[in-house]
Amino acid sequence: MIHRMPKENPTTTQAVNIRWLNISDYQTIWEAMRQFTDQRDAATTDEIWLLEHHPVFTQGQNGKSEHLLNAHHIPVVQSDRGGQITYHGPGQLIIYTLIDLKRKKWHIRDLITRLEQAIIDMLAAHHLPAYADPKAPGVYISEQKIASIGLRIRRGASYHGIAFNVSMDLSPFSHIHPCGFSNLKMTQFSNWGGTSDVTAVGHELITYLMKGLGYGTKNIIDQTTRC
């Protein structure tokens, strides 16, 4: 399980805790994010959690049942994030952003744009022309989605975050209308010459997220307890 770190001085607004987790149950991590968000205060350091999930479909707050075509024995969870239905599974890098938006004086759109841009910048370093779509949050390559973004703002702070397809079984996406779009095709980093090592991608993307989210220092927390 996830335990809160000691509170830090509220002036250290440029610091962030980076928490590495193993492949984890969605429900367990979701409850931990909610607990962290409910217990945090103005002195709590922001955190970024990196992990993978066991196979699961998650429906956003406004998710419509018709976008789930056939679950094929994969669990379906009604989540409190924004957006429609998506799939999580091994080989997909999950990055949860637990950020005090009030402290940063950001709106949710500011955070989404910064998350998208961090991914776009990382992919550009691999000579991949990725882009964002203002009508459908996330990151795309050649009209195929490589990263999805879904957030929840609670008490002025964010949780949930990014699902970046690294090297996974994409077939479960054919059992849904991903993000509510019947003709949306999904892709992944390994299909474009990228590494299939999820941890390596996480380490690389953190560098871009640190810059894009305005953090100057980080505290790495390697938590290997399986959830």
Highest CATH level, class, for 64-222 = alpha beta
Report pLDDT digits (tens) over 126-154: 999 999 998 899 999 999 999 999 999 99
What is residue 2's predicted lDDT score, i.e. its pLDDT? 46
Calculate the average pLDDT of the chain.
91
| Rounded Cα–Cα distance for residues 57 and 76 (Å) | 5
Return the H-helix or E-strand segment holding 220: strand 217-222
The region of weakest confidence among 53-57, 187-191, 219-223 is: 219-223
Domain ranges of the chain: 64-222
What is residue 226's predicted lDDT score, i.e. its pLDDT? 40
Token readout for 87 is: 């799939």
Catalytically annotated residue among 2, 179, 201, 227: 179
Does residue 179 have an active-site annotation?
yes
Mean pLDDT for 13-35 is 94
What is residue 181's predicted lDDT score, i.e. its pLDDT? 85
Is 83 exposed, middle or buried (CB count within 10 Å of its CB: 0-12, 13-18, 19+)? buried
